[in-house]
């Protein structure tokens, strides 16, 4: 692998490390240990309110057996396997694109997305569900709980979209200046 890709591997590993470290700390605070594997609900019953940080933010502990924002959680016992397989294919596709074809401006956001997706995939393989713990709310309305991996994915997607918009603007300006210059 070429030297230019080490920084993207570092981004992926940093996202995984931050995600797994925060989840490990929460598991340790609740159970007194950091289990390597086990059925999620056998380890920690949910929901488990840890602490209210302020009027709009709690640290909670909850398992998410579904996809983003608890989608697909109604598939039952087969959901984790379907999500693990689908996530593996998606991560593989994005990683291939990142290291083989992506233009430079797409690489860091894609690395952040891959790192976040791998962080959640690790939970799915270990526990059959993802640890979520950040709970923002307004009154009785709660945004679905999420974690550091989810933040990496959302930030990566937002950054990717911003880069696409900026690249398109540069391209349009370049075309316009070429037309005006002729």
Active centre residues (catalytic)? 132, 150
Q: DSSP H helical segments within 37-147, as ranges?
A: 40-43, 79-100, 104-127
Those residues with Cβ within 8 angstroms of residue 118's Cβ, 6 or more apart along the chain or in another chain:
12, 15, 16, 91, 149
What is the secondary structure of 121-151 as a DSSP string?
HHHHHHHSSEEEEEEEEETTEEPPPB-HHHH
């Amino acid at each position: 692998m070429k030297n230019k890709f080490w920084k993207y591997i570092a981004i992926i590993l940093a996202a995984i490390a931050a995600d797994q470290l925060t989840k490990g700390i929460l598991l340790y605070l609740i159970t007194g240990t950091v289990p390597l594997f086990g059925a999620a609900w056998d380890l920690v019953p949910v929901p488990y309110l840890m602490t209210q940080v302020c009027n709009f933010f709690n640290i909670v502990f909850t398992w998410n057996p579904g996809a983003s924002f608890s989608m697909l959680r109604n598939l039952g016992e087969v959901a984790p396997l379907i999500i693990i397989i689908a996530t593996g294919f998606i991560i593989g596709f994005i990683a291939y694109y990142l290291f083989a074809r992506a233009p430079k401006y797409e690489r860091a956001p894609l690395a952040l997305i891959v790192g976040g997706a791998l962080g959640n995939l690790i939970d799915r393989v270990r526990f059959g569900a993802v640890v979520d713990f950040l709970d923002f709310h307004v009154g009785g309305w709660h945004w679905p709980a999420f974690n550091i991996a989810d933040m990496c994915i959302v930030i990566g997607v937002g950054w990717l979209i911003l880069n696409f918009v900026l690249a398109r603007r540069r391209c349009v300006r370049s075309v316009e200046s070429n037309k005006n210059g002729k």
